[in-house]
A and B are shown apart, each in its own frame.
Chain A
Amino acid sequence: MSAAKQLLVRGWEVVIGLETHAQLSTVSKIFSGASTAFGAAPNTQACAVDLALPGTLPVMNRAAVERAIRFGLAIGATVAPVSIFARKNYFYPDLPKGYQISQYEIPVVQGGHLDFLVGGVSKRVQLTRAHLEEDAGKSLHDDFAGPQGEKSSGIDLNRAGTPLLEIVSEPEMRSSEEAVAYARALHGLVVWLGICDGNMQEGSFRCDANVSIRRPGRPFGTRREIKNLNSFRFLQQAVDYEVNWQIDQIEDGFQIQQATVLFNPDTGETRAMRTKEDAHDYRYFPDPDLPPLVIAPAWVERVRSEMPELPAAMAARFVRDDGLPEYDAQMMTQSLATARYYEAARHACGQAKLAANWVMGEISKRLNAAGIEIEAAPVGPVLLGALIRRVQDGTVSNNSARQVFEDLWSAGSAQASPEGDGALALAAVDALIEAKGLKQMNDSGALEAIIDEVVAANEKSVAEYRSGKDKAFNALVGQVMKASKGKANPAQAGELLKQKLG
């Protein structure tokens, strides 16, 4: 009860459900052989089927179905043995057939759930369904000139027929933070599964947020749907604005009208696009051009056998085989890229816990500061692994290693990283240690000489130590380290010092 109370906004409970469109990473379109590559010149990737030329017919792309199956298996959903494609009829210039082929009454993925962390606490959201559908083209309204240079609108049908998986959650999120955490987790999962490239700038992953508010314990309020949010930040801003707007309306005595709204990132506001009264009647009916999508158990099993290891299974393996603490294992499986990075670094150094520490520590700190993803880290996992090896074998101290890391990070973007070759990476790390003079003094003869000097020059501390003051010993170790210019191995220095002082 107290946890729920914390989530109230101005005394209102927020209810959010997300509909997410994930563009499936197939080579060709969902119902035609045209390419799905992004960024081609307008209408160069639209074939006769995409243009809806008279006489053309859709043919289901099995690769899109496999991606849907993969998703269904990953979220513990039912993969429907038979699902139906339906036509959603409406007129718009970027919808070439005058209808969108989608799934309506019987979707391919039914049920399932997604687990994720919100502020370190685990949360589970049930999914309603996920269905396959085709994307529409794009209407170009701004800065588009007609054949005579007049102001005009253009249609680019390259995107028409791009396969989408629309993933619908139950209205189980209670704050914009939860909505964002859900969206991030879903994004991580579809990328992890290799079914979506996750590129939000290119629109490969975009969310519609259904938002309503209610007094705790009351029935659901009327919802408004915020369309087409293509960044996590916009999702958070849009929901936050919308929630406050709805509260203002209700507290001012107005009722919420069911509506579709758009978020304007420039103003940070949502604005109604159309209300329920002028909602389309899409006249859904089963598409007679496409037989029911039949997914035999053998197909599901084949896809299951080709599934990548899922995050939860991988985290369990990191605990079991690498001896990582639970928390570290969770952190190492936040994304497939992180997991791959960790595994490569661990492989390069043979030190699981140290590798995890570095990923959670220096790497994570630097990535956040630079605002980049781990795939783009200037210090790759093999190079990091080499550095960790040099810490482990006593060549450099932890402090020195951080200095080396700084240099590697700064240089990394400018020079070719020796990734893929452990020996080269090690050589690169060694060269830098050498150049910076950070090599630990592991020669006990030289160290003994320094200790003798320190003992001779610090009679007072020696006396204090001998009279039982432990602090004095630490001061002596500090002096040894200082005299060695940090190159001494502190543990070794401590031991030798103890021997000297008897």
Chain B
Amino acid sequence: MSGSFIGVAQAARLLEQRQASSVELTAEFVRRAQANTKLGAFLHLDADLALSHAQAADSRRSAAGTGPGPSLLGVPIAHKDIFVTEDAPTTAGSKMLQGYRSPFDATVVARLKSAGAVSLGKLNCDEFAMGSANENSAYFPAHNPWDVSRVPGGSSGGSAVAVAAGLVSGCTGTDTGGSIRQPASFTGITGIKPTYGVCSRYGMIAFASSLDQAGPMARSAEDCALMLSAMAGFDERDSTSAQRPAVDYHAQMLALREGATAAQPLRGLRVGLPREFFPAALAADVNRAVHSALAELERLGAALVEVSLPRTELSIPVYYIIAPAEASSNLSRFDGVKFGHRAKQYGDLLDMYKKARAEGFGAEVQRRIMIGAYVLSHGYYDAYYLQAQKLRRMIADDFQQCFSRCDVIAGPVAPTVAWCLDQGSEDPVQAYLADIFTLPASLAGLPGMSVPAGFGEGGMPVGLQLIGNYFAEGTLLHTAHALQQATDFHAQTPESLQ
């Protein structure tokens, strides 16, 4: 790994061994971020604030030291601009919230802050986290560091770019239908969407409340484990947050499996391959990379078993009913009355609403609000929303069937590698189809991960998706870590940026 691409774990070790100060690391990342603004990763970069926080972290470390184990104290990170922050503006990638300042930090932000992580600023994303290419950002697109003519994926596109280009050690992302996993896959980094309820949603601007989940995006499974330990945990301000004791994901990641050997750390692990995740239409390069990663897992002792998720295709209509339905309601608060965009000229109240929302929201957001309002309408609710909820339960049941035969499920994250900017499908439905492999775990509320698995067409990264049972983040991280100990896909960096 090039010296510039310092991951979370590596930064933590450098800081702990006093080989670098937080100010030094932060200054280096700020320099790289400022030198790479063309990538469009940051919506807001605050070098002064970051450096002053870094200084504070350094003082804290010299005053008190840190406890045993790696600490995030002084590690430079950044946040997807979907998390509200006290000391930086929050836009959700939308004109609607241009200039908005939150009076409080999101729980995830506050937890990383109290762990001592230093935030450089806010990262680009699709507007209100709706999109899979970061082209729906109201400000500017983000570019894939592996090929700047290509998209980085979305909606956590800026997050993926920031890590892949070495602009931060790690960062936060959010995943509603694949928004952590797919950009991680497109940019060759590691990202985990935890079980629904593991990370508090308080302060995460809601897209689809029953699906939204925060997670870390970083270079390695170890990086993610360190960040997730700080981010996760019950929050009384989020009623859907899981009431479970705090988890040390780093320890879970390192814990040896029963029967494991040095050569075969994954011995006894049953990896389920849903046949529906390997359709004929799957791009050959993606198929090849995923299979080579699977072969590696086998070498590490895992047993591959075929399983079935028969409603995989149905997850697309189910998701594109439920998510817009919730979004249409969640986004009602953006009415121009209390905060956010309001038109300069308007007539009556209705006109004020219409103009604020027509001007403030982009096309994709408006499309989803309309779909959502439609499926919840009187006379359509039963046929769409209720039916979708029933199918959602069946999809979750299908996973439980699989988990009776395997410990983790594996497959591709996305059917293709990253496509070129402005070359995405004109037809939104075609674009939605590309979410097919990430949606099922989202609908079931299961943890999912993207792990670099190699490279495909045009030298673009390919991600391996791992899906675990509820609260089995430790198993996913352990599996990914074993793979990353044996391979170096996650350590590859784009040549142009080294």
- Partner-binding segment picked from A86-94, A117-125, A202-210, A298-306: A86-94
B401 on the A face (CB < 8 A): no
Residue of A with least CB distance to B386: A285
Which residues of A lie under 8 Å from residue B335 when comparing CB positions?
A: 91, 93, 98
Within 8 A of B (CB), among A254-272: none
- Partner-binding segment picked from B201-209, B449-457, B485-493: B201-209
CA of A93 to CA of B339, assembled, Å: 12
Q: Please judge, given known A-B contacts A54-B100, A55-B84, A91-B332, whether A281 and B378 are in contact too, CB under 8 Å.
A: yes
B202 touches A56 (CB 8 A): yes
Which residues of A lie under 8 Å from residue B97 when comparing CB positions?
A: 54
Q: Please judge, given known A-B contacts A96-B333, A96-B338, whether A55 and B236 are in contact too, CB under 8 Å.
A: no
Which residues of B lie under 8 Å from residue A59 when comparing CB positions?
A: 236-239
Which residues of A lie under 8 Å from residue B202 when comparing CB positions?
A: 55-57
A52 touches B338 (CB 8 A): yes
A57 touches B376 (CB 8 A): no
A57 touches B238 (CB 8 A): yes
Within 8 A of B (CB), among A54-68: 54-60
B373-397 interface code vs A (CB 8 A; 1 in, 0 out):
1001110010001000000000000
A350-364 interface code vs B (CB 8 A; 1 in, 0 out):
000000000000000
Within 8 A of A (CB), among B31-89: 83-84
A11 on the B face (CB < 8 A): no
B326 on the A face (CB < 8 A): yes
CA of A54 to CA of B94, assembled, Å: 13
A53 on the B face (CB < 8 A): yes
A289 on the B face (CB < 8 A): yes
Closest Cβ–Cβ distance, residue A147 to chain B (whole Å): 14
CA of A91 to CA of B102, assembled, Å: 23
Is chain B's binding surface mostly helix, strand, loop or mixed?
loop
Within 8 A of B (CB), among A265-292: 281, 283-285, 288-291
B326 touches A288 (CB 8 A): yes
CA of A57 to CA of B92, assembled, Å: 17
Q: Please judge, given known A-B contacts A48-B103, A52-B338, A93-B337, whether A289 and B240 are in contact too, CB under 8 Å.
A: yes
Which residues of A lie under 8 Å from residue B400 when comparing CB positions?
A: none
Which residues of A lie under 8 Å from residue B373 when comparing CB positions?
A: 283
A48 touches B329 (CB 8 A): no
Q: Please judge, given known A-B contacts A48-B103, A96-B338, whether A289 and B209 are in contact too, CB under 8 Å.
A: yes
CA of A288 to CA of B202, assembled, Å: 13
Closest Cβ–Cβ distance, residue A335 to chain B (whole Å): 37
B281 on the A face (CB < 8 A): no
Which residues of A lie under 8 Å from residue B205 when comparing CB positions?
A: 54-55
B262 on the A face (CB < 8 A): no
CA of A288 to CA of B326, assembled, Å: 8
A98 touches B332 (CB 8 A): yes
Is chain A's binding surface mostly helix, strand, loop or mixed?
loop
Picked from A53, A98, A281, the residue with its CB within 8 Å of the CB of B339 is A53
B332 touches A99 (CB 8 A): yes
Which residues of A lie under 8 Å from residue B161 when comparing CB positions?
A: none
B332 touches A289 (CB 8 A): no
Q: For chain B, which range describes its interface: under 10, 10 to 19, 20 to 34, or 35 or more residues?
A: 35 or more
Within 8 A of B (CB), among A213-242: none
CA of A281 to CA of B381, assembled, Å: 11
Closest Cβ–Cβ distance, residue B357 to chain A (whole Å): 10
Which residues of A lie under 8 Å from residue B326 when comparing CB positions?
A: 288
A155 on the B face (CB < 8 A): yes
A7 on the B face (CB < 8 A): no
A185 on the B face (CB < 8 A): no
Picked from A53, A56, A283, A290, the residue with its CB within 8 Å of the CB of B376 is A283
Which residues of A lie under 8 Å from residue B203 when comparing CB positions?
A: 55-56
Q: Please judge, given known A-B contacts A155-B337, A281-B378, A291-B240, whether A57 and B332 are in contact too, CB under 8 Å.
A: no
Residue of B with least CB distance to A92: B349
Residue of B with least CB distance to A97: B333
B361 on the A face (CB < 8 A): no
Within 8 A of B (CB), among A182-217: none
A288 touches B385 (CB 8 A): no
Picked from A54, A283, A289, the residue with its CB within 8 Å of the CB of B377 is A283
Q: Please judge, given known A-B contacts A285-B381, A289-B240, whether A55 and B106 are in contact too, CB under 8 Å.
A: yes
CA of A93 to CA of B338, assembled, Å: 8
Most chain B Cβ neighbours within 10 Å, of A54, A281, A283, A284: A54
A57 touches B201 (CB 8 A): yes
Residue of B with least CB distance to A51: B338
B353 on the A face (CB < 8 A): yes
B316 on the A face (CB < 8 A): no
Picked from A52, A155, A284, A285, the residue with its CB within 8 Å of the CB of B333 is A52
B320-363 interface code vs A (CB 8 A; 1 in, 0 out):
00000110110111010111000000000100010000000000
Some 21 contacts from A to B, beta carbons below 8 A apart, are: A52-B338, A53-B104, A54-B84, A54-B100, A54-B339, A55-B204, A57-B239, A87-B329, A93-B337, A96-B333, A99-B329, A155-B337, A155-B338, A281-B377, A283-B329, A283-B373, A283-B378, A285-B381, A288-B209, A289-B206, A290-B240
Known: A52-B333, A155-B337. 10 other contacts (CB 8 A): A48-B103, A54-B84, A54-B90, A55-B202, A57-B238, A57-B239, A96-B338, A284-B381, A289-B206, A289-B209
Give chain B's interface residues, CB within 8 Å of chain A: 83-84, 90, 92, 97, 100, 102-104, 106, 201-206, 208-210, 236-240, 325-326, 328-329, 331-333, 335, 337-339, 349, 353, 373, 376-378, 381, 385
The 8 closest A-B pairs by CB, nearest first: A98-B332, A288-B210, A288-B209, A283-B376, A55-B203, A55-B84, A52-B333, A54-B205
